[in-house]
Amino acid sequence: MRVDKRPGSGVAKIHVEDDGSYFQVSQDGGTKKLERAKISLDDCLACSGCVTSAETVLITQQSHEELRKVLGANKMVAPDQQRLVVISVSPQSRASLAVRFQLNPTDTARKLTAFFKKIGAHYVFDTAFSRNFSLLESQWEFVRRFRAQADSKQALPVLTSACPGWICYAEKTHGNVLLPYISTARSPQQVMGSLVKDFFSQQQPLLLGPGSCTTAVFSTQHLTPDKIYHVTVMPCYDKKLEASRPDFFSQEHQTRDVDCVITTGEVFKLLEEEGVSLSELESAPLDSLCSSVSAQEPTSHQGGGSGGYLEHVFRHAAQELFGIHVTEVTYRPLRNKDLQEVTLEREGQVLLHFAAAYGFRNIQNLVQKLKRGRCPYHYVEVMACPAGCLNGGGQLKAPDMPGKELLQQVERLYSMVRTEAPEDVPGVQELYGHWLQGEGSEQASRLLHTSYHAVEKAGSSLSIRW
């Protein structure tokens, strides 16, 4: 393949070996092996192109090999010198692994806990718990912005922010046009980062275990956030980019809220490298962030495999704004299955108009409507992946099973988990009172919300059209 034809340089060719090695072939037949380019996560975020999937980026800071290094380093030092390793598993990853190993969700969660502790982790949490806070903050934010729409043209629509691929696209391609509409609520991954590095670290004065949500005394001798190595297991490669954002880095403690993100596929690699089949492991009790709450089984939320933002905000807004109790949310498919609408009507008048837009085909149409001032929605659940998070690029594939059938099985196991309203989940209200100092507090804003930044376009030899 010809890659260079500058005056005086002749023609250079690139030859690719079967193992993926690259060689430059000169005109006289000589060859030179080329090194792979290494792009850091910060490079990705600084680039003016749109990295909406990190599958093709060589990420050296976020991988299961990095987790192995930390676990290995812990084995070489005394216990009081070790970093406390905390692993937070997403419900989507758990469902994907459950399908692969033919387990139910509860057994999968317990066996994953056993596996991670076997290789050296200290605690294993479920990001469904942190999602409670993300959903509640999203609900309250929407009601505030709906009531403020008369005073601000950019109050609505509210666009969800839990998908980092979508956020990356918005920041890099449409900047200030889109950013005012995007929800400031942190994603479940980054809320878990706050929970682990702020609340949980303050409950670890002597590394004895989780503290109580209601009776914790914040000792000055607590474990500092940099002494915790926090890993998340996610269905999406772009979560690595999200964790690397400067917004989620503590200058005071020189540590990220989430130190390392590994995908579902990387967990499977870890299992293979350890020679372990998840289905053959003994189960272990589930961990809870609060010692006053006993986690007997994983729980989830209504509203589909991408977090249920649309449904939770819709139900809350209907009740809070119009006094209407919604028992069932009815979706109306539009041009394709990844674009659906939900409306709340009373006496023929549309009170709320929500939508779910998955995949970049639908996202681009949504963006064009916004730019033309013709977006009819009050709220849009936006996800970069077609079919949403359960179909994320980091999920397990099945060579012997069609993708559609595999996705249906993952959806089925994901939906088997008992659902709870976020405000009713044990520990949530206590944490709002004792850790966050109340709903809508400055502390809640700092730890549960974030901001977005338009990325200036730099000169590039690549021409990217969206």
Please tell me the predicted confidence (pLDDT) of residue 441. 97
Residue 80 lies in a domain: yes
Domains in the chain: how many in total? Answer: 2
Kindly state whether residues 314 and 356 are assigned to the same domain: yes
User: Do residues 97 and 113 both lie within one domain?
Assistant: yes
Q: Is residue 465 part of a domain?
A: no
pTM for the model stands at: 0.85
Q: Is residue 13 part of a domain?
A: no
Q: Do 370 and 332 fall within a single domain?
A: yes
Q: Assess if residue 6 is contained within a domain.
A: no
Please identify every stretch of the chain with a pLDDT value under 50, giving residue numbers as ranges. Answer: 1-10, 41-58, 207-211, 216-219, 459-466
Residue 154 confidence (pLDDT)? 84
CA 234 to chain centre: 6
Q: What CATH number did the domain enclosing 175 receive? A: 3.40.950.10
The 10s digit of each residue's pLDDT in 111-162 is 999 999 999 999 999 999 999 999 999 999 999 999 999 888 888 999 999 9
pLDDT for residue 147: 96
Do residues 375 and 228 both lie within one domain?
no
Q: What CATH number corresponds to the domain at position 238?
A: 3.40.50.1780
93 inside domain: yes
- Do 355 and 435 lie in one domain? The reply is yes
pLDDT at residue 453, as a whole number: 92
Domain that holds residue 375: 134-186+302-396+417-447
Whether residues 275 and 377 share a domain: the answer is no
